[in-house]
Amino acid sequence: MTGWSCLVTGAGGFLGQKIVHLLVEEKELQEVRALDKVFSPETKDKFAKLQTKAKVTVLEGDILDVQCLKRACQGVSVVIHTASVIDVSGIIPRKIIMDVNLKGTQLLLEACVQASVPTLIYTSTVDVAGPNSYKEVIQDGHEEEHHESTWSDPYPYSKKLAEKAVLAANGCTLKNGGILYTCALRSMFIYGEESKFLTSTVNKALKNNGIIEKTGWFSMVNPVYVGNVAWAHILASRSLRDPKKAPSIRGQFYYISDDTPHQSYNTLNYNLCKDWGLCLDSSPNPPLFLMYWLAFLLETVSFLLSPIYKYRPPFTRHLLTLSNSVYIFSYKKAQRDLGYEPRFSWEEAKQKTIEWVGTLLEQHKGSLKTKTQ
């Protein structure tokens, strides 16, 4: 396990940045290659300021660029593949999502084979398991149960196929005669500093007199802090390189949650924002089954109009199901095989996130002040 190097795809993203920050603490790590299509100046600055013995190399390139992937994988011991287009609202074209999430993963697997990279860890999502119906109730889900999304929506569908490709590649022969070993980590809904979902929620609330828009009426989930998901990736990289632990992990997937209390998405948003005076919308909830059938009608209209006009429904059946389900999974298998224990407690994760939400409010005040000058 000495003298190793790691490539992180999607390293400029919400989770990717956290993985890079934890990776540089690892013993005997020589280099972290941080790959993304583009990095913000702030992210580059953060990476440059990391106090680490390991070299941090920032690589800007497309996950669909074969030559870029070939260069990025050369001489690497471990690939952590977080690069992904996340969209459950139908804003991003289907082709873009399928290309990045599925084709990009397939191209990366081929690059690993050609560059003889022995280890790949894939960032999957609980969305590949479902929920398939808002009436479906899972309160202590685990890997031995067969849960698989039946949605054709591009995000869960592309992630499901990409995960299957990664796990199927486990055991394939590398160009140098070695073997590629893989595993996948299915995280719950991720919250924390720099979350785009939380940023959107706060910004909408600030434009709506401090009222937080509801994102589901009847959900009960186990959100997971971004630092704990990143930590699970670090432990997976250790375990897959450990000859004693690796045999039980190769080709496996793991649900990654933590000790954040089970709660609705609305409650989570409120818990993270209430200290700053934001409050939850108190208007009555419409019947879910009516909303579901309205979504069906809107999707039908969208389909019928598609040859002549691009109509995007304000919500879909998939989004309603996703945001109104009881969907809770255990991390016991990751605990057993990877030695995973949450690195950050709920109180610590909550405090870090609340403090970051405060910076969003300061930015908002600053922008208002600028406009009035």
Helix (H), strand (E), coil (C) string for the chain: CCCEEEEEECCCCHHHHHHHHHHCCCCCEEEEEEEECCCCHHHHHHHHCCCCCCEEEEEECCCCCHHHHHHHHCCCCEEEECCCCCCCCCCCCHHHHHHHHHHHHHHHHHHHHHHCCCEEEEEEEHHHCCCCCCCCEEEEECCCCCCCCCCCCHHHHHHHHHHHHHHHCCCCECCCCCECEEEEEEECCEECCCCHHHHHHHHHHHCCCCEECCCCCCCEECCEEHHHHHHHHHHHHHHHCCCCCHHHHCCEEEEECCCCCCECHHHHHHHHHHHHCCEECCCCCCCHHHHHHHHHHHHHHHHHHCCCCCCCCCCCHHHHHHCCCEEEECCHHHHHHHCCCCCCCHHHHHHHHHHHHHHHHHHHHHHHHHHHC
First to last CA, the chain: 58
Domain contains 342: no
Q: What is the pLDDT of residue 365?
A: 78
Q: Tally the domains of the chain.
A: 1
pLDDT number for residue 372: 59
pLDDT band (50, 70, 90) for residue 1: very low
In a domain, 228, yes or no: yes
Report which of 128, 147, 101, 239 is spatially closest to residue 188, judged by C-alpha positions: 128
Structure tokens at 224: 């997971």
Please give the single-letter amino acid code of residue 322.
L
Q: Is residue 141 part of a domain?
A: yes
Residue 79 lies in a domain: yes
CATH number (domain holding residue 114): 3.40.50.720
Burial pattern 49-65, b for ≥16 Cβ within 10 A else e, equals: eeebebebebbebbbee
**Taking the model in full, what pTM does it have?**
0.94
The C-alpha atoms of residue 17 and residue 194 are separated, in whole angstroms, by: 10
pLDDT at 56 (0 to 100): 94
**Structural domain includes residue 240:** yes
Each residue's pLDDT tens digit, 57-93: 999 999 999 999 999 999 999 999 999 999 988 889 9
Active-site residue identified among 122, 134, 155, 255:
155
Q: Which two tokens stand for residue 323?
A: 């945001």
In a domain, 201, yes or no: no
The count of other CB atoms within 10 Å of the CB of residue 366 is: 10
181 as an active site residue: the answer is no
Summarised one tens digit per residue, pLDDT across range 26-55 is: 989 999 999 999 999 999 999 998 878 899
Q: What percent of the chain has pLDDT over 90?
A: 88
Residue 26 placed within a domain: yes
**What is the domain range of residue 49?**
4-192+223-259
Residue 89: what pLDDT?
A: 84
pLDDT interval class at 370 (50, 70, 90): low
How does pLDDT run across 211-268, given as a tens digit for each residue? 999 887 789 999 999 999 999 999 999 999 999 999 999 999 999 999 999 999 999 9
Residue 121 has pLDDT above 90, yes or no: yes
Torsion 224-7-162-37 (CA) sign: positive
Confirm whether 341 is domain-assigned. no
> How many whole angstroms separate alpha carbon 57 and alpha carbon 35?
8
